[in-house]
Chains A and B, each alone.
Chain A
Amino acid sequence: MTHDSSINTDGELNNSSNESEQNWRRYFSFSTDHKVIGVQYMAMTFMFFLIGGLLAMIIRAELLTPEANVVDRPLYNGLFTMHGTIMIFLWIIPFNAGLANYLVPLMIGARDMAFPLLNAIAFWILPPAGLLLLSSFLLPNGTAQSGWWSYPPISLQVPPGYINGEFIWIVSLILIGISSIMGAINFLTTIFWMRAPGMTFFRMPVFVWSVMSAQLLQLINLPALTGALILLLFDLSLGTQFFKPLENGDPVIYQHLFWFYSHPAVYIMALPAFGIFAEVLPAFARNPLFGYRSVALATLGIALVSIFVWVHHMFTSATPNWMRMTFMVTSMLVAVPTGVKAFAWTATIWRSKLHLETPMLFAMGGATMFIFGGITGVMLAATPFDIHVNNTYFVVGHFHYVVFNTITMAIFAAIYFWFPKITGRMYSEGWGKLHFWLTFIPANITFFSMHPLGLQGMLRRISSYDPQYQGWNIIASLGAFLLGASTLPFIANIVGSWLYGPRAVNNPWHATGLEWITSSPPPRDNFEEIPIVKRPPYDYGDPKYSVLENSNNRD
C-alpha cells in the first residue's frame, strides 16, 4: 500500500531493526523467542514445499502421456506418497504452526508463548523428522509407496529388510505428531491464559479464533492417528495382526482411526487460512469484518462439526448404509458454518474501498477459489455421487482447490501481509503482483482440469492411463509447470526485499490489531508496554485507522 515508508524518523524503530539485522544468525540457533521460532518454521516448511512441488512436477511429467515412460512404477508410487505426505505434514500444517507462533502472542498482547522452551523443542523435532523422511529415497528399495494414508494391508507389503521406506515413514510421522501435540498444548494455554488486559474472547482477531479451533482439533484427534500408526508399526515390524485381514485383523479399523484425524486435519490446515482471510480482507477493504461474532463462532462450529464427518472418506469401504447416510448429513452440515464465513467475506468486500495490493489479491483469489472447492466438497458428501467419483481425479481436483488454491494462496497472502512486520522491510509490489497472476491462473488451469478427468472416471494414483484422458492431462501438466515457475519471482522478491527492501513503518496497511502497534520488527518482548485493549477488533470505522497521517501510529 504505502511505500512512502522510507521516511523514518523514529529512532527506536531504527534501533530495533538494526539489532535484528545484526542478529540474523539467531534464525539458525536454538532460540525460545516465539518470533524466531515462527520464522524458523516458515522458512523450513517452505523448503519442503519446494521439494513437494518438485515431486509434483515429476508426477505431472509422467502424466503428460498415457504410457508410463518417465519413471518406473515403484518410483511413481513413491513420488505421490511422498508428495502428499510432505505437502500435508511438512508444509501446510507446520507452516500454519509457524505463522501462528509468530502472530498469536503479538495479536493477543503477550510477551511470548506460554512455554517457550517446549515451543523450541516442538520445532526442533521437525527438521530431523523431515530429513529422516527424505532419507528414505536413498534406501535400496526406496520410500513408502502406499499413499499418504498408508492403508493396510498394502502398506504392510514391503520388500524384506527391517528398515524400509514404510518403517521410516511411520517413524517420522509419529515424530511429527508428537511435535504437533506439544504445539497444540502450547497454543491453547497461551490463548487461554496470556491475553492482554481487556482482550476478551470476542475481542480476539478471527485468526486467533481459528488457531484456537485448529489446535483444539490437534489435541482431540491427533492421538487417534498416532495410535493407529503405532499399531501399524507393530504389524509391520513385530508381527502383530491388528490390521491384517487374512489373519483376522481389520484393515477398516485403521481407516476409521486414520480419517478420525485426517479429516479434521483438513480444517487444521484450512481454519488458519480462513483466519488469514479475516485479517487481510477487512484491512484492504477498509470495512469492519462483517458479522464478526458469527464468523468467530462459525470457526469453532466448523471445528466441532468436523469431528463427526470422517466416514465420508470411506463411503465405498464396506461401510454400512446407516453410516453412509448419517455421515452424509453431518458432512453437509459443515457447509453451514463454512457458508457463513464465505458470505461474511463477500459482505466485507461489498461497498468497500478496495485496495488491491498483493496480500489482498492472494486473499481474494484464495477466498473465491475456496467457494469452488467448498461446493465440490458438498457434492462429494452426497453419497451416491461420491460413490462414482471417490478415488478419481475429481477428488484430487477438489482437495487441491482447498490445499493449494485456498490454503497455499492464503499462506502467500499472509507472507506478503506480515512481511513488513516480520522483516521491517517492504516487499516489491510489482514482483508480488506478477507472482499472484502466475499463481492464480495456472492454479486454476491445473486443478480445474482434474474435475472433468475424474467425472470421466480417471482414477487417482495411476501411473498410466487410457488415451481418452490425455487432453485434460496435458492441460493440467502444463499448468503445473507454470505453477512451479511461479515460485521463482516469489523467492526473488522475498530474498531481495529482506536484504535490500525499503524500511517498513509499523503499520503500513493502516490495519487494526495489536501486532501493528509495535515496531517492525517487534522487540524481543513484543511490546514496550503490554497494551490494554478497549476496542472491538476490525475497528475500520474508527478514524484512527482511516487517516493517512497515522501510518506510523504508535499511541
Chain B
Amino acid sequence: MFTFLEYILIAFYVAGLLIVSRWIGQQAFSWMPVQATAEAQRVDDLFSFLVSIGAFILLGLVGVIVYAIIFHRARQKDYSEGHSVRGDARIELLWTAVPTLLVLWIAFKGFSIYQQLNILGLQQIVHLHTPVESPAYATVANKPQPATETIDVFVKQWEWSFRYPNNLTSKELHLPVNRSTRLNLHAQDVIHGFYVSAFRLKQDIIPNRNIDIVLTPIRSGKYRLKDSQFSGTYFALMEADVYVEPLDTYNQWLTQTTANEPTQTKDWVVAESIQAHKTFFNSGWQTFIPASPAIAKERKVSNDT
C-alpha cells in the first residue's frame, strides 16, 4: 500500500501530531474558569485529556483532507478513476480497533475521575425500586468522604436561599474553604439547577426529591451561583453570590449575621417585573408569576415543602 519512504513520512506526521495535540491539551486548562474546588481539578484533568485526544484525531484527519485538496486535484475534465481500491480489510480492522480502544480508555478515565468526585454525597439520590442497583458501582456512592457541614439550599422561581446549621437563613451562600460541605437541595416549584462554573459541578434540583451534592472548595473568593435548568421568564436573573472563606471568617459571618438578614438591597427580578419594559420590542405576553409576586421581599420560607 505504501512505500518505505511514505511510512517514514507518516511516522513523522504522527509524531508531530502527538506533540502538537499534547500541547493543545495543556492549553485546555486555561480555557476553563478558575479551579475553586478539588473537584474542578479532577474535571480539568479529564478535559485536558479529552482535548489532547480530540486534537490528535481532528488534526490527523483534517491534515489528510487538506493534503488531498492540495495534491490530488483532478485536471479539468478528467473524469477517469482516482484508483479503484474498494477497501482493505487490514486498514478497516485497524480503524475499528483503534477507536474502540480509545473509547474504552476515555470511558475508564471518565469512570475513575467520576469516582473521585463523590458529587452525590453518601447516599444514592434516587432509591431504585428495582434490583438493578448493581454492586459493581456501589463503591461510587459509598466512597466515604465525611462532609463537615450540611447547608440547605432552597430554590424557587426566581430566587435562591440558604439555611445554615445554626438555622440562619440568607440569600448568600457561604462556604468554608478546604472542607467538604454537603448541600441539601430543595426546589419548591419547577426543576432548577445548581451550578457554579468555578466549581464545575452541576446538579438539577427536582421538586419533591431529596438531592445532595458534596463539594470541597479550595480557593477563597467570591463566585456566582446560577440556575442551570431553564425555569421560566426570569431564568436569566436567577443568580446568587457564593463566598468561599477561611473557617473563622465563615464562623464569624454565621454568628454576626443575625437570622433573617434584612431585605435585599437589589432584587432584579422584582425590579424588572414591576418596572415598565425597556426592550426595543415588547410582546405584551403575560407569563406565569409565582403566587406571591413580591417573593423576594418576603421572609424566607425555611421549611422544605
Question: Closest CB of chain B to A352's CB: distance in Å?
Answer: 4
Collect the chain B residues with CB atoms within 8 Å of residue A285's CB. Answer: 72, 82
Asked if A43 CB lies within 8 Å of chain B CBs, one says no
Query: Of B42, B57, B305, which is within 8 A of A246 by CB?
Result: B305
Nearest CB of chain A from residue B220's CB, rounded to whole Å: 19
Nearest B-chain residue to A245, judged by Cβ: B207
Q: In residues 186-226 of chain B, which contact A (Cβ within 8 Å)? A: 189-191, 193, 195, 197-198, 200-204, 206-209, 211, 224, 226
Within 8 A of A (CB), among B114-137: 114, 117, 119-120, 124-126, 128, 132-134, 136-137
Contact (Cβ within 8 A) B206 A318: yes
The residue that B195 contacts in the complex, of A73, A158, A459, with Cβ under 8 A, is A459
| Inter-chain contacts of A319 with B (CB < 8 A) | 126
- Decide: A325 and B111 in contact? CB cutoff 8 A: yes
- Residues B65 and A71 in contact, CB atoms below 8 Å apart: no
- Size of interface on A: residues with Cβ below 8 Å to B: 108
Interface bits A224-264 vs B (CB < 8 Å: 1, else 0): 00000000000000000000011010011000000000000
Determine the distance from Cα of A541 to Cα of B79 in the docked complex, in whole angstroms: 11
Interface residues of B in 278-296 (CB under 8 A from A): 278-283, 285-288
Considering the chains assembled together, what is the distance between the CA atoms of A545 and B282 in angstroms? 60
Complex: how many Å from CA A510 to CA B230?
Answer: 51
Chain B residues touching A, range: 35 or more
Known pairs A154-B190, A368-B65; A70 contacts B279 (CB<8 A):
yes
Give the distance to chain A from B39, nearest Cβ to Cβ, in Å: 8
Nearest to B70 among chain A residues (CB) is A354
Q: Looking at the complex, which one of A157, A320, A457 makes contact with B197 (CB distance below 8 Å)?
A: A457
Contacts of B9 in A (CB 8 A): none
In the complex, how many angstroms separate the beta carbon of B33 from the nearest chain A beta carbon? 6
User: Which residues does chain B contribute within 8 Å of A419, judged by CB atoms?
Assistant: none
Interface of chain B residues 38 through 57 with chain A (CB within 8 A): 42-43, 46-47, 50-51, 54, 57
- CA gap between A320 and B75 in the complex, in Å: 59
How far apart are A386's CB and chain B's nearest CB, in angstroms? 9
Task: Tell whether, in the assembled complex, residue B99 and residue A286 are in contact, meaning their CB atoms are under 8 Å apart.
Answer: no
Instruction: Write out the residue numbers on chain A whose beta carbons fall within 8 Å of the beta carbon of B234.
Output: 73
Tell me if A293 and B50 are in contact (CB < 8 A).
no
- Of B89-97, B169-177, B257-265, the stretch lying at the interface with chain A is B89-97
A residues less than 8 Å from B165 (CB atoms): none
Do B33 and A352 have beta carbons less than 8 Å apart?
Answer: no
Q: Decide yes or no whether A189 CB sits under 8 A from chain B.
A: no
Q: How far is the CA of A466 from the CA of B268 in the complex (A)?
A: 14
Query: A547 to B79, Cβ gap below 8 A?
Result: yes
Partner of B46, one of A339, A385, A452, A547: A385
Report chain B residues within 8 Å CB of A354.
68-69, 72-74
Set of chain A residues within 8 Å of B279, measured between Cβ atoms: 68-72
Query: Distance in Å from the Cβ of B32 to the closest Cβ of chain A?
Result: 6
* A343 part of interface (Cβ distance < 8 Å): yes
Given the complex, which residues of A lie within 8 Å of B87, measured CB to CB?
290-294
B249 at the interface (CB under 8 A from A): no
| Contact with B200, one of A74, A251, A349, A387 (Cβ below 8 angstroms) | A387
Footprint of B on A, CB under 8 Å?
1-2, 68-75, 77-78, 140-142, 145-147, 151, 153-154, 157-159, 245-246, 248, 251-252, 285-294, 316-322, 324-325, 328-329, 332-333, 335-336, 339-340, 342-343, 346-347, 349-356, 364, 368, 371-372, 375-376, 378-379, 381-385, 387-388, 390-392, 452, 455-457, 459-466, 510, 536, 538, 540-542, 545-548
